Amino acid sequence: MYGSGHGHGVGLSQFGAYGRALAGQGYVRILRAYYQDVSLKQYPDDPTIRVLLGQQDPNGRQDVAVRPETRALVRNLATDGTVILGPGVYAVHYLANRGLYGLKNLTEGRALGSYRGPIRFEPISEGLLGYGHRCYRGFLTVQILDSKVCVINQLPIESYLQGVVANEMLASWPLEALKSQAIAARSYAWATQRDDRFDVYPNTRDQVYGGASSETSVTNEAIASTARICAVYVGNPITAAFHSASGGYTEDSSFVFDGSTASGSAPYLQASRDVDSEGRPFEGPAYANSPWLSWSGALDANGSPGLKIGAIVAVTELGRSPSGRLTKIKVTGTQGERIVSGEYDIRRSLKTTGPQLADGSVYPAGVLPSARVSFCGAPCVQSRHQHSP
């Protein structure tokens, strides 16, 4: 296999933004290169967002820490009653047979009570709470969702971004690139509300969020200097999809996301060449020098048991998007064949043995880095299309 890019290719390319910033582009120009026909709008308010941090089986427990020199309230959301907590680690068990949440001070080894709940931990005087070896701003709520004991972090979006931008882009990159990432992440947060229980996941299903533990002064500066600014289309914040590297050509969202989703077939998420006026990729050696500009390796013939066709012996290309990404393939195995459609399913159906990147490093084995890929082997891949990534 020979490919380029990393991720779905829709919207802002992070390595592309890096290269554009090195080329002297400001964050406004960077954003408009990746999100067509958008404008920027600064909002007066800072709404909250709810992040699903973790979930356990009903008989499991969730531990929340009140940090040293900090106090907190634990609030019973069913009755609005509160109890003041000192520093320590507190375990929450869900007592399914009684429909109650049991609270125990693990530091002191004593039970504090049972509550109808859900229960919410609220720091006093801007303190931080701990969960899973990380610290978080805002509130932590423990509640049952879909038969799981879940922890949800509720906090203002501007505070949430401090735990996102530092995880989505390197703090050592130019400030203009970091500003473009901050506005993309903010716009996505404003536009995303999953349901009445929580809004976003803390990982690549939405945006990578590491809480206050992951913040840096430089990424916080990028957030503060663009405070409350969103990219908007027809007056509304956009679902600002972004990815690691486009490989020189971004993708139209209609080829990647289901049309029923917020970002499916979005007019501001169109395919475009990610190159300068001389045709040089912003991710290339002249600018960002991204390791994802090109890569090569082999498919794992036995790495796709979900296809239920045995070991893979050939891949036939049946369709590509204008950006050069596969949209439909036939996978032939020792026990049958399967048609796979859609870039998302293609990337996750085929596993690699570990591709070598442009800088000589080897990426861990796993799903296809990008659908902007061609196959050739023994036997050679059959192809009805001759697009080269």
Q: Select from 324, 347, 181 the least CA-distant residue to 247.
A: 324
pLDDT tens digits for range 116-129:
989 999 999 778 99
Q: How far apart are CA 347 and CA 354, in angstroms?
A: 14
Q: What is the pLDDT of residue 263?
A: 53
Pick the closest to residue 45 from 136, 139, 156 (CA basis): 156
Q: Name residues whose C-beta falls within 8 Å of residue 146's C-beta, 6 or more positions apart in sequence.
A: none
| pLDDT tens string 320-362 | 999 999 999 999 999 999 999 999 999 999 999 999 999 999 9
**Structural domain spans, the chain:** 48-156, 291-383
Instruction: List, edge to edge, every strand of the sheet that includes 81-85.
Output: 48-56, 148-156, 139-145, 119-123, 72-76, 81-85
Q: Which pair of structure tokens corresponds to residue 13?
A: 């390319």
| Residue burial 368-383, b: 16+ Cβ < 10 Å; e: rest | bbbbbbbbeeeeeeeb
Query: Of 127, 118, 139, 133, nearest to 50 (Cα)?
Result: 139
The set of residues, in sequence order, having a beta carbon less than 8 Å from that of 32 and lying 6+ positions away, is: 38
CA 318 centroid distance within chain:
29
Q: What are phi and psi of 345, to 5 degrees?
A: -70, -35
The beta strand positions in 117-200, using DSSP E, are 119-123, 129-131, 134-136, 139-145, 148-156
Structure tokens at 2: 């020979």
Q: Cis omega (within 30 of 0) on the bond before 118? A: yes
What gap in Å lies between CA 12 and CA 30, rounded to an integer?
8
| Beta strand pairing call for 382-383 and 312-320 | parallel
388, pLDDT greater than 90: no
pTM of the model: 0.92
Q: What is the pLDDT of residues 246-282, one digit of tens each?
A: 999 999 999 998 644 455 579 999 999 999 999 999 9
Alpha helix positions (H), 325-375: 343-349
The residue among 242, 276, 199, 207 whose CA lies nearest residue 19 is 276
Q: Which residue in this structure is represented by tokens 């229960």?
A: 119
Average pLDDT score over the chain: 93
Question: For residue 378, what pLDDT is reported?
Answer: 44
Helix (H, G, I), strand (E, B) or coil at 197: coil
Give the pLDDT of residue 257.
Answer: 85
- If one compares 70 and 126, the residue with the highest pLDDT of the two is 70
DSSP bridge pairs for 76: 81, 119
Alpha-carbon span 311 to 326, nearest angstrom: 21
Q: Hey, what are 332's tokens?
A: 């032939």
Pair of tokens at residue 118:
């859900």
Return d(Cα 206, Cα 275) in angstroms, integer.
27
pLDDT at 214 over 60: yes
Residue 178 CB burial class (10 angstroms; 0-12, 13-18, ≥19): buried
Q: What percent of the chain has pLDDT over 90?
A: 88
Over residues 291-301, the mean pLDDT reads 95
Closest CA to 103 of 123, 126, 120, 125: 120
Instruction: Kindly state the tokens that stand for 5.
Output: 């890019």
